[in-house]
Amino acid sequence: MSASGLITAYNMTWIFTQTGVPVYKPDWTDHHSVRNALEYGLEGLQRCKGRERLVPFRVERVDYRAGNPEAFFAGLARSGPKAAREFREAGL
């Protein structure tokens, strides 16, 4: 669980600059959020090519995704009793 009290999962999709700096590092992967980050980054590149001087800043925001607990727990059950036990023990 995160400091904000939200349940978090492992990062699955990160986006890095060519120099290895992470510019997108979610605690859950949602294709809408990834698309938004890619489009924003590409727009920034175009602005730089147009000689606009951009400086970086950090942002923290909350995105939302559709939840399907039935499908999640069905997938957890398919993963076996160890996966289900570890999930319960993690208190998530």
Q: Identify the residue whose tokens are 């698309």.
A: 35
Q: Give the tens place of pLDDT for each residue, 17-44.
A: 889 989 998 887 888 999 999 999 999 9
Lowest mean pLDDT among 2-16, 25-39, 76-90: 2-16
For residue 13 the two structure tokens come to 């999709």
Q: Distance between alpha carbon 38 and the CA centroid of its chain, in Å?
A: 12
When pLDDT is averaged across residues 3-12 and rounded to a whole number, the result is 58
